[in-house]
C-alpha cells in the first residue's frame, strides 16, 4: 500500500491568519482536489495531518471542525478522490502536547492505525513545522509554496527539501519518483 500525507491549511485549502473557523471559510486551492484524485487513481492512499490550534483557543469547536472536514471530504470526492483519514491536533502551541507538529504524535497515530512504516512516505506541507515533523519520522518532506510556503522558504533559505509551486506540482513529482 502506498501513502501520501498532506497538511490541510495552505496545502489543500487557502489558509488564514485568523484561522479557518467555519465550513464557509474553507476554500480549496485551485487544483488541490484534482491532485488528490490523481494520487488515488495512481494507487496512493491519502491522509491529512493538521494542527488545529483554533479549537484549543476557543475559536471553533470540534463539531465545527467536523463540518469543515466533511466539506473537504465531500469536495475531494466530487473531484474523484478520497481521504482515508484525518488526524488533527486541537491544542495550542503553549500546551506542549505530543501531537502538535513539529512533534510526531499525529504521524505515529496514522502509522499505528494503518500499520504503516513512515520511512520515505511523501509528506506535503507549507511550513517548517511540517518539514520537521516529516523528517523526524523518516518521511520525505515536500514543501509547497502555497499557504505559508513562500514565507517558510524566505525564513529558511537553506531548507533542503523538494519544493513546488502547489500541491498539483508536488503530486507530479511524487508520481514521477514513486509512481
Give the span between the Cα atoms of 139 and 53, in whole angstroms. Answer: 23
pLDDT of 174: 98
Q: What is the pLDDT of residues 60-69, one digit of tens each?
A: 999 999 999 9
In sequence order, the 6+-apart residues with CB closer than 8 A to the CB of 73 are 83
* Dihedral Cα 129, 69, 84, 92, nearest 10 deg: 30
Tally of helices (H runs) and strands (E runs) in the chain:
7, 6
Q: Angle 128-136/105-114 helices, nearest 10 degrees?
A: 50
Average per-residue pLDDT in the chain? 97
List, by residue number, the catalytic residues. Answer: 7, 9
pLDDT of 170: 98
Sole residue written with cell 466533511:
70
The domain total for the chain is: 1
For residue 33, give the CATH number of its domain: 3.40.50.1000
pLDDT of 94: 86
pLDDT at 179 over 80: no
**Cβ neighbours, 10 Å, residue 163:** 19
Domain that holds residue 38: 2-178
Q: What is the pLDDT of residues 114-165, one digit of tens each?
A: 999 999 999 999 999 999 999 999 999 999 999 999 999 999 999 999 999 9
Q: Is 94 helix (H, G, I), strand (E, B) or coil?
A: helix
Amino acid at each position: 500500500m502506498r501513502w501520501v500525507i498532506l497538511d490541510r491549511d495552505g496545502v489543500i485549502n487557502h489558509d488564514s491568519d485568523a484561522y479557518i473557523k467555519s465550513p464557509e471559510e474553507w476554500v480549496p486551492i485551485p487544483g488541490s482536489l484534482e491532485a488528490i484524485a490523481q494520487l488515488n487513481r495512481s494507487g496512493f492512499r491519502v491522509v491529512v495531518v493538521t494542527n488545529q490550534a483554533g479549537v484549543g483557543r476557543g475559536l471553533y469547536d470540534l463539531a465545527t471542525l467536523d463540518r469543515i472536514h466533511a466539506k473537504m471530504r465531500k469536495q475531494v470526492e466530487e473531484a474523484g478522490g478520497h481521504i482515508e483519514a484525518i488526524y488533527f491536533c486541537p491544542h495550542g502551541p503553549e500546551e506542549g502536547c505530543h501531537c502538535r507538529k513539529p512533534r510526531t504524535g499525529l504521524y505515529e497515530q496514522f502509522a499505528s492505525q494503518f500499520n504503516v512504516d513512515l520511512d520515505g512516505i511523501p509528506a506535503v506541507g507549507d511550513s517548517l513545522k511540517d518539514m520537521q515533523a516529516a523528517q523526524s519520522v523518516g518521511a520525505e518532506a515536500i514543501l509547497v509554496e502555497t499557504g505559508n510556503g513562500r514565507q517558510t522558504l524566505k525564513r529558511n533559505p537553506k531548507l533542503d527539501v523538494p519544493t513546488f509551486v502547489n500541491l498539483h506540482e508536488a503530486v507530479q513529482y511524487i508520481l514521477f519518483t514513486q509512481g
